[in-house]
Structure 1
Amino acid sequence: MGSSASKAALAATTEEPMEPGPKHLADLTQYINETHMSVAHLADILSKKTGSSSWVVVFKALVTVHHLMVHGNERFIRHLAARHSLFTLHNFLDKSVGEGYAMSIFIRRYSRYLNERSLAYRQIACDITKVKRGASGVMRNMDTDRLLHTLPVIQTQLDALLSFAADPDELRNGIVRAAFRLLLKDSLRLFAAYNEGMLNLLGKYFDMRRSQCRESLELYAKFLARTAKLTRFLRVAEQVGIDRNSIPHLTQAPCSLLEALQQHLASLEEKKDFLCPCGLQHTVTLSIPYRPTGNACARRTWFADYFPYTIFTLPSPQACWSRAAKYGASIETDASGGTNWQLSTCASTSAIWTSVSGPPSPHTVTSTMAFPPLMSPQSLVSSPPGLMADELELTAWAGQQSQSM
């Protein structure tokens, strides 16, 4: 079996300028899934292939490694994570052919992501793209300390993935396109875990210590920015011909939930500075005649009242108005009598919230109303603003799509 695996690895990384053959990848996946032999020998072969001066050989070796990370037994990535060093390709450049310059850039970016993927496994002792999701999943049930350790690791891995940054016209080459497909699968699963972790963190926010609130606020701000970047990444996938039904729609919420979180932190730190780093803006404001300044329990109750669908709920627009009217609040309207949600040019989404009509505002004291981002496989054009899914089924959905990608 070791000999056959070696032959398959060599066949998958030839100098022929096309993506690794499906048969060779299947043979290697079967090898690490069904045998008890060490994966070290296979990893050594692929690692040596990345030392080639040919961009074709190096790129195909990286694609093969990534394929085994995604589809192979976890012991493969565990072995890579245990290595002292993995890919040292930050200076790689193939000058022998004209295409080598452009492809070398992607090789450097791609190898960095694979390094970060392995490092993330070492830091959190699991492959976050394969953990159980949903109400009983890993990210939904982490305690605060572990969340504050895990979410930055996910952020770093996602940053490395999104730095691949290929344009549609750069994905015509079969090898780089194969890498992009694998990155797309990782991005969906990685962001699903990221989203669930943020839901969990927001649910714990008003019971946290001051230092934990500060960390959580920063994490949420970064989460908004990465959601916008992922939206652009997914748009490229649509443009290169990947079936639209296999691409989820991300609805980006405005930044103003940050203000509510900031107000709570300010009450702990006696600071009131607030900055929205993600550049999202909107024109809907909620008039709030009263803001509690009492203890955390009172602030948490106020938060739940004013953000009724922040986490796991879907009230009707009428219920939202009833909740707002409870405290004498209302939503400002445009000339047509409806609200007008919009995003600035820095954020691109596949779905924009529709207007929710309501009475004109008689109040002058206003505060922005917003909710966390939503991730859903379906378009939310007819949904109320700020909808957050109760059960995020993206992972199962993405798995169903993986065979067609």
Structure 2
Amino acid sequence: MSGQSITDRIAAAQHSMTGSAISKAVCKATTHEVSAPKKKHLDYLMHCTNELSVSIPHLADTLIERTSNQSWVVVFKTLITTHHLMMYGNERFIQYLASRSTLFNLNNFIDKGALQGYNMSTYIRRYSRYLNERAMSYRLVAVDFTKMKRGIDGVMRTMSTEKLMKTLPIIQNQLDALLDFEASSNELTNGVINGAFMLLFKDSIRIFAAYNEGVINLLEKYFDMKKHQCKEALEIYKRFLTRMTKLSEFLKVAEQVGIDQVDIPDLSQAPSSLLQALEQHLASLEGKKSKELSTVNRYFTLKQFIRVTGFTK
């Protein structure tokens, strides 16, 4: 299928007659054409999020209503458009999405009547769950992890222990939802799913950067924590190591589909000596016999972790 369908043209014409520029732009961004939404339509909608005269609820609701379409192409492109506006639109767009009790309800979506319908429906369900989780994360912490200030004086590096313990699991959940997309390079077979994957790739880098900085902050505080905090922090760190492995697999797919290696960070594994140091310290707090590392060794082990896992993309 190529080009706009007759249905697309009729819908656009109807919106022109009723004077709904937003609805017309959404319709044009989410046609039946098997390609990513056109830049000019995304740019227009992004501009709309910055206009105070534009109703953000109307824009968001129009997109959400568009996902009731039975075509996998239309629904997938609607999700891409929504994701694009979350990333590049005015913050009040994601604020509104986060305020809704429900966002996308596509867990049972399936297009049985089109070529690639079954396969693409699987990724629509996964993608919608990620966007739901992205909005939920914003609701819980009132910040977009992909846009927060980074660096030694950034949000995650300066966060208190208590807030860090609450925030890191939220980042973990969002990253999990993203990595659950699980598309291999062989399954990125058209412009629509490729468009979604590119946005997910960009999010993955930014989310992990914030996640990584939060874990560095956590580890810097670890040896001064109380026993119950150390136990919780150790579990957070172990889950972090698992997600590093999953992210590495995701980035391999990005490399296979031609994303420039310059844009793909090298995720070297943290030294095993760090995990041993954390476990030994917790064991000592619990009164178990363990070989406690010296303060100097702790310092250099942590510095090694920061060197191999830290990146600024």
TM-score above 0.5, yes or no: yes
1:109 aligned residue: 126
Question: Is the partner of 2:151 in helix, strand or coil?
Answer: coil
Corresponding residue of 2:101? 84
Residue 145 of structure 1 corresponds to which residue in structure 2?
162
Change (3 A) 1:387 1:60: closer
Letter aligned with residue 236 of structure 1:
V
Question: Contact (CA 8 Å) 2:29, 2:38: kept in 1 or not?
Answer: yes
Which ranges in structure 2 are unaligned for 5 or more consecutive residues?
A: 1-18
Question: Aligned residue for 2:241?
Answer: 224
Q: Which entry has the higher C-alpha Rg, 1 or 2? A: 1
Name 1:348's counterpart in structure 2. Answer: none
Kindly provide the amino acid, as one letter, of the partner of residue 207 in structure 2: L
1:121 aligns with 2:138: yes
Distance 2:116 2:90 in 1: 34
Q: Give the conservation status (yes or no) of the 8 Å contact 1:46–1:65.
A: yes
More helix per residue: 2
The one-letter code sitting in structure 1 at the alignment partner of 2:162 is D
Alignment of 1:337-352 (within 5 A): none
Please say if 1:33 is aligned against 2:46: no
Question: 1-side partners of 2:265 and 2:308: how far apart?
Answer: 15
Aligned equivalents of 2:234 and 2:198: distance in 1?
A: 33
Alignment counterpart, residue 49 of structure 1, candidates 66, 77, 84: 66
Contact 1:310–1:387 (8 Å) recurs in 2: no
Q: Deviations over 1:178-217 (max 9, x none)?
A: 0000000000000000000000000000111111111100
2:12 match: none
Does the 8 Å contact 2:280/2:291 carry over to 1?
no
Q: Is the 8 A contact 2:274 2:301 kept in 1?
A: no
Residue 51 of structure 1, CA deviation: 1.0
Match of 1:251, SS? coil
Letter in structure 2 aligned against 1:164: F
Contact 1:309 1:387 in 2 (8 A): no
Q: Deviations over 1:45-65 (max 9, x none)?
A: 100111111111110100000
The alignment's TM-score, normalised by the length of structure 1, stands at: 0.70
Q: What residue number does 1:162 align with?
A: 179
Q: In 2, Cα distance between the equivalents of 1:130 and 1:271?
A: 43
Which residue among 247, 253, 261 is the counterpart of 1:236? 253
Structure 1 counterpart SS, 2:116: helix
- Following superposition, the deviation at residue 291 of structure 1 comes to 4.0
How far 1:160 sits from its partner (Å)? 0.4
User: Is the Cα–Cα contact under 8 Å of residues 5 and 28 in structure 1 kept in the other structure?
Assistant: yes
Give the match for residue 9 of structure 2: none
The C-alpha deviation readout for 1:283-338, integer Å capped at 9, x for no partner, is: xxxxxxx944xxxxxx6xx1433541523xxxxxxxxxxxxxxxxxxxxxxxxxxx
2:156 is aligned with 1:130: no
Displacement of 1:258: 1.5
Using structure 2 for the length normalisation, give the TM-score: 0.90
Give the Cα separation in 2 of the matches to 1:142 and 1:253: 22
Decide which of 279, 300, 307 is 1:308's aligned counterpart.
300
Structure 1 residue 255 and structure 2 residue 174: aligned? no
Q: 1:35, CA displacement in angstroms?
A: 3.3
Deviation at 1:34, TM superposition (A): 3.6
Shift of 1:387: 4.0
Counterpart of 2:312 in structure 1 is 393
Q: For the aligned residues, what is the CA RMSD?
A: 1.8
Are the aligned partners of 2:148 and 2:155 in contact in 1 as well (CA < 8 Å)? yes
In 2, the alpha carbon distance for the partners of 1:32 and 1:167 equals 34
CA distance in 2, matches of 1:85, 1:306: 46
Select the residue among 59, 81, 86 that pairs with 2:76: 59
Letter in 1 for 2:224: D
Q: Which moved more, 1:33-42 or 1:151-160?
A: 33-42
Aligned length: 295
CA contact (8 A) 1:5 1:27 kept: no
1:5 corresponds, among 15, 22, 27, to 22
**1:239/1:210 CA distance change after superposition, 3 Å:** same
Q: State how far apart, in whole Å, the 1-side matches of 2:226 and 2:162 are.
A: 11
More displaced 10-residue stretch of structure 1: 26-35 or 182-191: 26-35
Q: Is the 8 A contact 1:224 1:255 kept in 2?
A: no
Shift of 1:388: 5.5
Runs of at least 4 residues off by over 3 Å: 386-389
The amino acid of 2:312's aligned partner reads E
- Structure 1 pair 180–387 and aligned structure 2 pair: CA distance change class (3 A): closer
How far apart are residue 247 of structure 1 and its match?
1.3
CA distance in 1, matches of 2:23, 2:302: 52
C-alpha distance 179-387 of structure 1, shift in aligned 2 (>3 A): closer
Task: Provide the rounded CA distance (Å) in 2 between the counterparts of 1:127 and 1:267.
Answer: 38
Deviation for aligned residue 1:393: 2.4
Residue 4 (structure 1) shift: 2.3
Q: Secondary structure at the match of 2:267?
A: strand
Determine the structure 1 residue equivalent to 2:116.
99
Letter in 1 for 2:113: S
Q: Assess if the C-alpha contact under 8 Å between 1:309 and 1:388 holds in 2.
A: no
- What's the CA shift for 1:255? 3.5
In structure 2, do the counterparts of structure 1 residues 89 and 387 end up closer, same or farther at CA, with 3 Å as the change threshold? closer
- Structure 2 letter corresponding to 1:103: M
The answer for unaligned runs of 5 or more in structure 1 is 273-289, 293-298, 312-370, 375-385, 395-405
